[in-house]
């Protein structure tokens, strides 16, 4: 995940940064030693609750 986010941002983010990659918003929660340690991922579109029968 670290590499995907760094490639999208083209820089090392600070904690509190939000980035959208594809269908997901990603909050950067913790960065240490130039490495993203913790993120929270949210789908941009709500997931369907069920599939039509």
Mean pLDDT by 10 residues, the chain (53 residues): 93 96 96 96 79 56
| pLDDT for res 24 | 95
pTM score: 0.77
Instruction: Flag whether 22 is in a domain.
Output: yes
Instruction: Flag whether 21 is in a domain.
Output: yes
In angstroms and rounded to an integer, the radius of gyration of the C-alpha atoms of the chain is 14
Task: Give the span between the Cα atoms of 17 and 26, in whole angstroms.
Answer: 8
Instruction: Flag whether 36 is in a domain.
Output: yes
18 CB-side CA count, 13 A: 6
Instruction: Flag whether 13 is in a domain.
Output: yes
Q: Which residues constitute the domain of residue 39?
A: 2-43
- Any idea what the CATH number is for the domain that residue 22 is in? 3.30.465.10
| pLDDT for res 46 | 72
Q: How many domains does the chain have?
A: 1
| pLDDT for res 26 | 97
- Asked if residue 17 lies in contact with residue 38, where contact means CB atoms within 8 angstroms, the answer is no
**What is the phi/psi pair of residue 12, to 5°?**
-85, 120
Instruction: Flag whether 52 is in a domain.
Output: no
| pLDDT for res 15 | 97
| pLDDT for res 45 | 84
């Amino acid at each position: 995940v670290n590499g995907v986010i760094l490639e999208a941002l083209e820089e090392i983010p600070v904690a509190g940064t939000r980035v959208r990659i594809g269908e997901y918003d990603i909050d950067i929660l913790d960065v240490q030693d130039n490495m993203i340690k913790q993120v929270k991922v949210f789908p941009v579109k709500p997931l369907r609750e069920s599939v039509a029968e």
